[in-house]
Amino acid sequence: MKSQSSHLNSRRGYKPIAALITALALTATLKVQAASQTWTNAPATAEWTNVLNWIAMAVPGSLNPAANSLSGDTVTFSNALSGGIGGSANPIVNDTNRDVKFILFDSANCGSYVVGNVDSNVLQVTSTTYPGGNVTVNPTVVNPQVIRAPIYTRLASSSSGGFSFINNSTTPTATLTIANVTNSSANSRPMTIFLDGSNTGANTLAHIGDNNGANGAILVTKQGAGRWILSGANDLPQKTSTPTVGSGVAAVSVNVGTLEVQDPGSLGAITLANLVVQTNGTLQIDGVTLNNNGITLKNSGTIRMNGSGTVNSVALGTAAASSMTLATTPRVIF
């Protein structure tokens, strides 16, 4: 009877109860959204939105979140590339306006990932009161990482915020490259980018934009003992109405490590008082004449010209027992 019943059920198109439960559970899993996730070691495609590409079978981040609704999700990349999916020839395709808070590259197995394409879909990131969210490369990573998708930072209601790009890899060639960052908040609300970490390679932020003047200012703080490069022209600061001027907060502060500038417009049009090199920070100018009107040097800061170029002026800050250094070095192409 048992065998006959199974045979009849099969002929009538019935499925065993256990199979139905499994199918329902899978359907429920496929619908899960907005959760922290890790990219699998066997992705099916390069699309961010394909649940088969994430270990826990859900798509991380919030899509088109409501105003002031900020994601807390972490996206982790820790596996080797599979069939080139997620690499430079077949980058991860993110859908536009997906909001996440943290992107983490972790482990020695982590492949060389590329997220998005230049000028393609916007990737939103949660930027709240410092320290806010971040993109981080952990010490054990040995491959370079790239985010080509334009990054728009999102702030909580009526507040400024911060977002960090951190590379702590102990392998100099395991660099972090960011193509474009824009503060998507109202123009009265500034946001600070922290360029951080101990990695000494050519970590690069290619462009800081202001959406043609429609959005809030972006301030830049270099911290951590490592090296970061501003390779192109930037909009700094975007507004004269931001609380930068006269508030004791510089538009660009080089506090620790090295910040390199490679374009005449890398520091935008910021004023002498709003570009400060101090503490254990070094501003390296790679053979260009900067457009902005000068640099304030104080508290053991260093300005170093790599190759041939000029700066419009240097003001020495007044502080007890402080020392400043002006230096030149033969130009080195990295």
Domain ranges of the chain: 1-31, 34-249
- CA 105 – CA 12 distance, rounded (Å): 51
pTM summary value? 0.85
Distance CA 191, CA 299 (A): 25
Distance CA 27, CA 38 (A): 20
CB-based contact 158:185 (threshold 8 Å)? no
Residue 52 DSSP SS3:
helix
Number of Cβ within a 10 Å radius of residue 97: 17
Q: Range with the lowest mean pLDDT among 32-41, 58-67, 82-91, 95-104?
A: 32-41
Residue pLDDT, tens place only, 174-231: 999 999 999 888 777 788 999 999 999 999 999 998 776 678 888 999 999 999 999 9
For residue 168, what pLDDT band results from cuts at 50, 70 and 90? very high
Q: What is the pLDDT of residues 228-242, one digit of tens each?
A: 999 999 998 854 444
Helix ranges (H only) for 85-227 are none
Backbone angles phi, psi at 98, to 5 degrees: -90, 130
Q: Where are the alpha helices (DSSP H) in the chain?
A: 2-11, 17-30
Place of tokens 């909001």: 99
Whether the CB-CB separation of 153 and 120 falls below 8 Å is answered with: no
Give the whole-angstrom CA distance, residue 327 versus residue 334: 19
pLDDT at 318: 66
R_g of the chain, CA atoms, integer Å: 24
